[in-house]
Amino acid sequence: MLSALDRNAERWALLVFYILLVTTMVVEVIRREVLAYSSIWGEELVRYSFIYLVWIGASAAIKDRAHIRIDVIFHALPHRGQTLLYLLGDLIMLGVAVAVVIWSWHAVETSMRFGSVSHGLRVSMVYFLLAVPIGFTMVSARLVQSIWRDIGSLRRDEPPFTGEKLFD
């Protein structure tokens, strides 16, 4: 079960938020164009679903090494150099991710303390503000996995994992 969760956690979460986003947008467009009526909650739900999509998607990109990077230098280096460069990038990103989790948690705590709610949904803002620390915690976990995988590649003197190719 842990293996399936490791493989598909982001995919399932992304699917849920994407379906929520698209369904809400379709309903709101129909309401606006056919019924000449729109709601503030629909726009809010789409916005917050998109925010969760972005941060969970960042974790999925880290897992598959699908994030945007300039890889011209990688092709000029031997496998060991490529792995070391990937490790350096992952370590820097891990530092940034941990800092973001710490700093974004302050916004969540402030929202909890003052009880702020969203304007349209009238739901606690904590649920929406948690998108950033949750997303970057997932990013941190995936970066630790990536670092561990790269250290193993260095020890075995293998080429580094370069991710799944979408197109060749």
In a domain, 91, yes or no: yes
Is residue 63, in this structure, part of any structural domain at all?
yes
Q: Which of 64, 60, 56, 61 is CA-nearest to residue 149? A: 64
The pLDDT value recorded for residue 168 is 44
In angstroms, the CA 150 to CA 145 distance is: 9
Q: CA dist 43 to 31, 118, 142, Å?
A: 12, 12, 31
**Number of structural domains, the chain?**
1
pTM, to two decimals: 0.85
Question: Rg of the chain over CA atoms, in angstroms?
Answer: 20
Rounded alpha-carbon distances, angstroms, from residue 24 to 19, 32, 71, 117, 151? 8, 12, 38, 20, 44
CA dihedral over 35, 40, 45, 50, signed as positive or negative: positive
pLDDT of residue 167: 52
What pLDDT, on a 0 to 100 scale, did the predictor assign at position 126?
Answer: 92
The helices-and-strands tally (H runs, E runs) of the chain is 6, 0
DSSP conformational letter for 77:
S
Q: Say if 165 falls within a structural domain.
A: no
Helix (H, G, I), strand (E, B) or coil at 139: helix
Give the largest CA-CA distance in the chain: 64
Say if 102 falls within a structural domain: yes
Look at residue 52 and tell me if it is in a domain: yes
Let me know if residue 64 belongs to a domain.
yes
Residue 71 domain boundaries: 2-156
Q: Which residues of the chain have pLDDT under 70?
A: 164-168
Q: Does some domain include residue 166?
A: no
